[in-house]
Chains A and B, each alone.
Chain A
Amino acid sequence: MTTLAMDTPREDPRSRANATLGMIFFIGSWSMAFGTLFLSFLILRERVGTWPPPGIVLPSFPMATVATLVLLGSSVAVHAAVKRGRADAGGFAGLWALGTVLGVAFAALQSWLWFDLLAAGSGPQAGTYESLFFGLTWVHAAHVVVALLALLWIQLGIRTGRYGAHRISTVQNTAMFWHFMDVVWVVLYLGFFVF
Chain B
Amino acid sequence: MSGDHIHPEPTSFLKKHVFSVDHKVIAKQFLWFGLIWLLVGGVMAMMIRWQLANPGSPVPVIGGLLFPRTGGVIDPASYNMLFTMHGTIMIFLGLTPVLIGAFGNWCIPLMIGARDMIFPLLNMLSFWTVALGGAVGFYSLFVPLGATEAGWTGYPTLSTTVGTQGDGETLWAVAVFLIGASSIMGGINYITTIIRLRAPGMKWSDMPLTVWGLFFTAVLNVLFLPVIGSAMLLLIMDRVFGTSFYVPASIMSGASGGDPILYQHLFWIFGHPEVYILILPAWGIVADLLSFFARKPAFGYKVTVGAMFAVTVLSAVVYGHHMFTTGMYAMLGESFMLLTMIISVPGEILFFNWLHTIWRGSLRLTTSMLFALGVIFVFGLGGLTGLYLATISTDIFLHDTYFVVGHFHLTMAASALFGAFGATYFFFPKMFGRMMSEKLGKLHFWLTIVPLTVVFCTMFISGYGGMPRRYYDHTSADYLVPLQHLNTITTHSAFLLGAAQLIFAWNFIRSRWWGPKASDNPWEVGTLDWQMPTPVPHYNFKEIPVVKTGPHEFSHPKLGDRDWIPQTEELPA
Which A positions have Cβ atoms within 8 angstroms of B?
A: 12, 14-15, 17-19, 21-22, 25-26, 28-30, 32-34, 36-37, 39-40, 43-44, 47-48, 53, 56, 124-132, 134-135, 138-139
Contacts of A28 in B (CB 8 A): 222-223
Nearest A residue (CB) for B222: A29
Q: Are B266 and A47 in contact (CB under 8 A)?
A: no
Alpha-carbon gap, A93 to B243, bound state (A): 42
Q: Are B255 and A127 in contact (CB under 8 A)?
A: yes
Q: Is B329 an interface residue (CB 8 A)?
A: no
The stretch that binds A, out of B187-195, B383-391, B494-502, is: B187-195
Q: Is B281 an interface residue (CB 8 A)?
A: no
Q: Are A40 and B245 in contact (CB under 8 A)?
A: yes
Contacts of A12 in B (CB 8 A): 1, 4
In the A-B complex, the 10 residue pairs with the smallest Cβ-Cβ separation, listed nearest first, are A125-B242, A33-B226, A131-B243, A36-B230, A15-B1, A32-B226, A128-B256, A36-B227, A25-B188, A22-B192
Nearest A residue (CB) for B196: A18
Mind listing 10 A-B residue pairs with CB under 8 Å?
A12-B1, A22-B189, A32-B224, A32-B227, A44-B262, A131-B244, A131-B245, A135-B237, A135-B245, A139-B233
Alpha-carbon gap, A48 to B184, bound state (A): 33
Q: Which of A15, A34, A47 contacts B4 (CB 8 A)?
A: A15
Contacts of A19 in B (CB 8 A): 1
Assuming A53-B255, A124-B241, A128-B256, is B266 touching A40 (CB within 8 A)? yes
Q: Is B259 an interface residue (CB 8 A)?
A: yes
Which residues in window 460-492 of B have CB below 8 A to A?
none
Alpha-carbon gap, A124 to B258, bound state (A): 13
Q: Which of B229, B241, B243, B257 contacts A33 (CB 8 A)?
A: B229
Contacts of A29 in B (CB 8 A): 184, 187-188, 222-223, 225-226
Q: Are B222 and A128 in contact (CB under 8 A)?
A: no
Nearest A residue (CB) for B257: A128
Nearest B residue (CB) for A31: B226
Q: Is B310 an interface residue (CB 8 A)?
A: no
Nearest B residue (CB) for A41: B245
Grouping DSSP codes into helix (H, G, I), strand (E, B) and loop, the A interface class, with mixed when no group exceeds half, is: helix
Alpha-carbon gap, A18 to B3, bound state (A): 12
Q: Are A135 and B234 in contact (CB under 8 A)?
A: yes
Alpha-carbon gap, A28 to B259, bound state (A): 27
Q: Are B119 and A22 in contact (CB under 8 A)?
A: yes
Assuming A32-B226, A131-B237, A135-B237, is B192 touching A18 (CB within 8 A)? yes
Contacts of B243 in A (CB 8 A): 124-125, 130-131, 134-135
Grouping DSSP codes into helix (H, G, I), strand (E, B) and loop, the B interface class, with mixed when no group exceeds half, is: helix
Q: Are A48 and B242 in contact (CB under 8 A)?
A: no
Q: A14-B4, A29-B188, A36-B266 are in contact. List 12 more A-B contacts (CB 8 A).
A: A18-B196, A21-B195, A21-B196, A22-B192, A33-B226, A34-B230, A36-B231, A43-B259, A43-B265, A47-B258, A138-B237, A139-B230
Which residues in window 431-471 of B have CB below 8 A to A?
none
Contacts of B231 in A (CB 8 A): 36
Alpha-carbon gap, A138 to B237, bound state (A): 10
Q: Is B253 an interface residue (CB 8 A)?
A: yes
Contacts of B224 in A (CB 8 A): 32
Nearest B residue (CB) for A138: B237
Q: Which of B1, B191, B225, B244 contacts A25 (CB 8 A)?
A: B191
Alpha-carbon gap, A15 to B231, bound state (A): 35
Q: Are B227 and A124 in contact (CB under 8 A)?
A: no
Contacts of A130 in B (CB 8 A): 243
Contacts of A125 in B (CB 8 A): 241-244, 253
Contacts of B188 in A (CB 8 A): 22, 25-26, 29
Contacts of A126 in B (CB 8 A): 253, 255
Q: Which of B223, B242, B245 contacts A32 (CB 8 A)?
A: B223
What's the nearest-Cβ distance from chain B to residue A146, in Å? Answer: 13
Q: Are A25 and B262 in contact (CB under 8 A)?
A: no
Contacts of A33 in B (CB 8 A): 226-227, 229-230
Contacts of A47 in B (CB 8 A): 258-259
Contacts of B229 in A (CB 8 A): 33, 36
Q: Is B118 an interface residue (CB 8 A)?
A: yes
Contacts of B258 in A (CB 8 A): 44, 47, 128, 131
Contacts of A15 in B (CB 8 A): 1, 4
Which residues in window 225-282 of B have CB below 8 A to A?
225-227, 229-231, 233-234, 237, 241-245, 253, 255-259, 262, 265-266, 269
What's the nearest-Cβ distance from chain A to residue B331, in Å? Answer: 18
Alpha-carbon gap, A29 to B258, bound state (A): 26
B161-187 CB contact bits vs A (8 Å, 1 = yes)? 000000000000000000000001001
Contacts of B195 in A (CB 8 A): 21
Q: Are A127 and B1 in contact (CB under 8 A)?
A: no
Contacts of B1 in A (CB 8 A): 12, 14-15, 18-19
